[in-house]
């Protein structure tokens, strides 16, 4: 995937891009044909089992080695589909390890080649080029990204959907939807347990330092006959550790494929009391047989792989094979929704349940993670210009900040995910443009008003003093993301995919919003992220999805230098810093993603969060806009000021730090003193502010004041100061 630093291409660059695209096409076709030939030339189950084990081993090391290259979930999905495009050839003898290794190398080359196919379409029109690049990014995401939700989020969503469609589902399928989900979860657990046991068994003999110890570890637990046969074969070579290892490893590979076999009876036992025949019928419908994948399927394999929604392989009447439980787990919600989509009654019911659940989930997240906010659903108001009654899904007022959330539960169609232009434009209109228009309308209503506004809501009346509002944050919250394009609206405008005049709000899934709220520990940080998130989209050109942006925020709080003209921030892939540790930390109840911050800043933010003085969110934003270098500089000056005042009681000390450029220019001043009464304190604050204004050249600033001797408080005064006047006391 290329990322251009500008939107124009020279003739030479166009020719080079087109040539690279032609090479990518040839590489793509060559590797795909070689993969299919290799997989269908011998028993593909043996190759799939080995590939799946390689994937499992890589996933097991992701947290400690997040940058390690290797098989991805989508790689094994493609291998499985290619295997099912031909008949099964059961060969007892074959060089399965070599074929597996060749397949791993080929599938990586194939995926890389796919990402370059779009270059064939580059031409002289910069808008079309931008569009093709964004569509290529979306297609790459659709092909490669699995797990748009964390596992616990998928399970929570499924529980709610099962409960909501229960009656209709049972009427159509003859079994409970929760039973189907339980069986599929049970299959994932069963295969996972088998693979873990196998991995533990491997660890029991592979690391041994001698061939003799290796043999003893290998045969432990085998039948006497099996153990005696292996020991007899290896007896002459028992002191050749490398030879023993190779022999035992080759022998152990015969265990791989059986790990992934299971029967309908094993699955039915997970849901006792359920109609077994109906259960089997549903499971049969989630399986493919050999030769079920057609040549037409292969043409769209990377963007519409039938294996994703039918991950099981049907071997015979009662026998199944599943080599990719990771794919089953990440696609579980989509599999369930596809089942519901087969009948009008379950499809309609599911759509209603999705919409209701999304609003309730959103309301619950805000109530849990912004407890200081006054939060309301279904906020109704009348536009005085046209007399229309409008409604916003969720509005939260916290301090001087108003947050407007518009929730859209519509699904992203397959063609839209694959980059079909009209479908993609339609999805962007429904999920990005229209809800942005709605929240922008309410934002204008608040900003143009005077006095207290009255809104009718599901929770009663909501009052907003328009004159007190300092920040209005807008967020579109969806169920399904349009890949990384959800975070790309300025580029979507440049590519002609959304109207250039639209005032677009940031768009993220409810699952991504939950992750943002859980990863960030303070209410101030959560509001600051959403506020800066909107500004960041306007100020920077970048390539990222929402969790990439969250990872970047943890590093920088978006406090970065203004972007160079025509440059692009490549943030894609940073989300691995969160994804690799998030689930494990959450399971222990110890979510902790540290942000670089001085001790003084931690105390100040914690005190604001605790005391919540009027304007506390705005004060917090200014603190969070300080770079680590700016924090350290100011903290060093505070320490020097305390020493100076301690040496000369009654002395007054002040200093300030200014950081950032342009609109991001920010000044934080402080003063330390021992004033005699409020009048002298006010004079000192005014002097400190005027001095900082002269030095920093800013029109407003945040000022902190500490008494001497120290009171032990994080601050004794905090306020936003503007030239020629003081702000209110806090």
Write the pLDDT tens digit of every residue in 411-425. Answer: 888 899 888 999 999
Q: Is the peptide bond before 709 cis (omega within 30 degrees of 0)?
A: yes
251-281 confidence digits (pLDDT tens): 888 889 999 999 998 988 898 888 889 999 9
**What's the pLDDT at 9?**
85
What was the pLDDT predicted at 543?
A: 82
Query: Across residues 546-563, what is the average pLDDT?
Result: 89
Gap between the Cα atoms of 417 and 139, Å rounded: 7
pLDDT at 727: 45
Percent of the chain with pLDDT over 70: 96
pLDDT reading at 589 higher than 90: no
Residue 8: band (very low, low, confident or very high) from pLDDT cuts 50, 70, 90 = confident
Q: What is the pLDDT of residues 128-184, one digit of tens each?
A: 998 998 999 889 888 888 777 889 999 999 999 999 999 999 999 999 999 999 999
pLDDT of residue 491: 85
Which pLDDT score, from 0 to 100, does residue 243 have? 92
Q: What tens digit of pLDDT does each residue of 388-440 get? A: 999 999 999 999 999 999 999 998 888 998 889 999 999 999 999 999 999 99
> Are 574 and 548 contacting, i.e. CB atoms less than 8 angstroms apart?
yes
Q: Of the given ranges (367-381, 393-407, 645-659), which has the lowest mean pLDDT?
A: 645-659
Cα diameter, the chain: 98
Joined tokens for residue 275:
């109609």
Q: Tell me the C-alpha to C-alpha distance, in Å, between residue 110 and each of 97, 301, 363.
A: 20, 12, 44
**Residue in 475, 457, 464, 567 with CA at minimum distance from that of residue 529:** 475
Contact predicate 335/162, CB 8 Å: no
> What is the rounded (10 degree) CA torsion for 269, 275, 277, 283?
-60
Determine the pLDDT at residue 669.
94
H or E stretch at 63: none
DSSP 545: -
Report the alpha-carbon distance of residue 684 to residue 678 in Å, rounded: 10
Residue matched to tokens 């001043």: 669
Global confidence as pTM: 0.92
- How far apart are alpha carbons 431 and 523 in whole angstroms? 27
Cβ burial of 329 (10 Å; 0-12, 13-18, 19+) is buried
What is the spatial distance between Cα 303 and Cα 552, in angstroms, rounded to a whole number?
A: 28
Q: What is the pLDDT of residue 3?
A: 45
User: Mean pLDDT over all residues of the chain?
Assistant: 90
Cα–Cα distances in angstroms (integers) from residue 380 to residues 388, 437, 480, in the given order: 10, 15, 26
Q: What is the pLDDT of residues 189-229, one digit of tens each?
A: 999 999 999 989 999 999 999 999 999 999 988 899 999 99
Q: Other C-beta atoms within 10 Å of 408: how many?
A: 19
Residue 94: per-residue pLDDT: 72
Q: What does the pLDDT average to over 691-699?
A: 83
**Do 447 and 465 touch, CB atoms closer than 8 A?**
no
Q: Is residue 314 within 8 Å of 284, Cβ to Cβ? A: yes
Q: How far is CA 226 from CA 52, 197, 220, 261, 565, in A?
A: 26, 19, 10, 22, 70
Per-residue confidence band for 2, with pLDDT thresholds at 50, 70 and 90? very low
């Amino acid at each position: 995937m290329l990322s251009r630093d500008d939107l124009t291409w020279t003739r030479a660059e166009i020719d080079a891009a087109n040539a690279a695209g032609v090479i990518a096409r040839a590489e793509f076709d060559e590797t795909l044909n070689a993969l299919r030939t290799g997989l269908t030339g011998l028993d593909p189950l043996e190759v799939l089992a080995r590939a799946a084990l390689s994937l499992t081993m890589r996933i097991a090391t992701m947290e400690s080695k997040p940058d390690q290259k290797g098989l991805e979930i989508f790689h094994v999905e493609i291998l499985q589909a290619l295997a099912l495009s031909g008949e099964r050839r059961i060969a007892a003898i074959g060089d399965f390890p070599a074929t597996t290794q060749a397949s791993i190398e080929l599938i990586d080359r194939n995926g890389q080649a796919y990402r370059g196919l779009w270059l064939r379409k580059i031409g002289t029109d910069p808008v079309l080029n931008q569009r093709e690049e964004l569509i290529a990014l979306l297609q790459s995401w659709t092909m490669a990204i699995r797990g748009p939700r964390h596992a616990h989020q998928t399970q929570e969503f499924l529980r709610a959907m099962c409960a909501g469609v229960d009656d209709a589902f049972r009427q159509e399928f003859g079994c409970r939807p929760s039973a189907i989900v339980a069986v599929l979860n049970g299959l994932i657990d069963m295969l996972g347990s088998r693979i873990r046991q196998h991995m533990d068994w491997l660890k029991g003999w592979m690391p041994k330092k001698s061939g003799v110890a290796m043999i003893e570890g290998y045969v432990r637990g085998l039948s006497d006959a099996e153990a005696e046969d292996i020991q007899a074969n290896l007896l002459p070579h028992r002191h050749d550790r490398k030879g023993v290892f190779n022999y035992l490893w080759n022998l152990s590979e015969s265990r791989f494929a059986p790990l992934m076999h299971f029967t309908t009876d094993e699955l039915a036992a997970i849901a006792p009391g359920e109609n077994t025949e109906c259960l089997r019928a549903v499971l049969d419908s989630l399986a493919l047989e050999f030769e079920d994948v057609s040549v037409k399927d292969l043409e769209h394999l990377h963007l519409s792989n039938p294996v994703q929604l039918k991950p099981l392989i049907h071997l015979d009447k009662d026998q199944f094979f599943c080599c990719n439980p990771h794919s089953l787990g990440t696609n579980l919600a989509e599999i369930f929704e596809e089942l519901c989509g087969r009948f009008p009654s379950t499809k309609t019911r599911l759509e209603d349940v999705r919409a209701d659940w999304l609003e309730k989930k959103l309301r619950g997240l805000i109530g849990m993670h912004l407890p200081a906010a006054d939060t309301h659903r279904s906020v109704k108001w009348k536009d005085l210009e046209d007399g229309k009654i409008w409604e916003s899904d969720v509005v939260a007022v916290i301090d001087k900040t108003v947050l407007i959330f518009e929730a859209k539960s519509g699904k992203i169609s397959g063609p839209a995910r694959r980059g079909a232009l009209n479908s993609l434009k339609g999805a962007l209109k429904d999920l990005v443009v229209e809800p942005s228009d709605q929240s922008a309308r309410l934002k204008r209503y608040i900003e143009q008003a005077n006095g207290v506004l009255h809104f009718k809501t599901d929770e009663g009346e909501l009052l907003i003093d328009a004159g007190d509002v300092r920040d209005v944050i807008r967020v579109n919250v969806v169920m399904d993301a349009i890949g990384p394009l959800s975070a790309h609206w300025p580029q979507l405008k440049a590519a002609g995919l959304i109207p250039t005049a639209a005032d677009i709000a940031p768009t993220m899934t409810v699952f991504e919003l939950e992750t943002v709220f859980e990863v960030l520990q303070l209410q101030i940080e959560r509001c600051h992220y959403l506020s800066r998130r909107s500004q960041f989209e306007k100020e920077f050109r970048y390539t990222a999805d929402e969790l990439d942006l969250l990872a970047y925020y943890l590093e920088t709080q978006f406090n970065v230098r203004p972007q160079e003209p025509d440059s692009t921030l490549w943030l894609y892939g940073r989300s691995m810093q969160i994804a690799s540790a998030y689930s494990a930390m959450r399971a222990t109840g110890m979510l902790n993603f540290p942000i670089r911050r001085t001790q003084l800043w931690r105390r100040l933010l914690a005190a604001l969060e605790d005391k919540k003085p009027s304007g506390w969110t705005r004060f917090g934003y200014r603190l969070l806009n300080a770079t680590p270098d700016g924090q350290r500089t100011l903290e060093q000056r505070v320490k020097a000021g305390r020493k100076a005042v301690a040496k000369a009681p009654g002395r007054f000390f002040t200093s300030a730090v200014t950081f950032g450029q342009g609109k991001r220019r920010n000044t934080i001043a402080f003063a330390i003193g021992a004033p005699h009464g409020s009048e002298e304190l006010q004079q000192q604050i005014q002097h400190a502010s005027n001095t900082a204004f002269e030095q920093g050249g800013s029109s407003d600033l945040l000022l902190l004041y500490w008494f001497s001797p120290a009171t032990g408080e994080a601050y004794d005064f905090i306020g936003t100061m503007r030239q020629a006047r003081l702000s209110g006391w806090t």
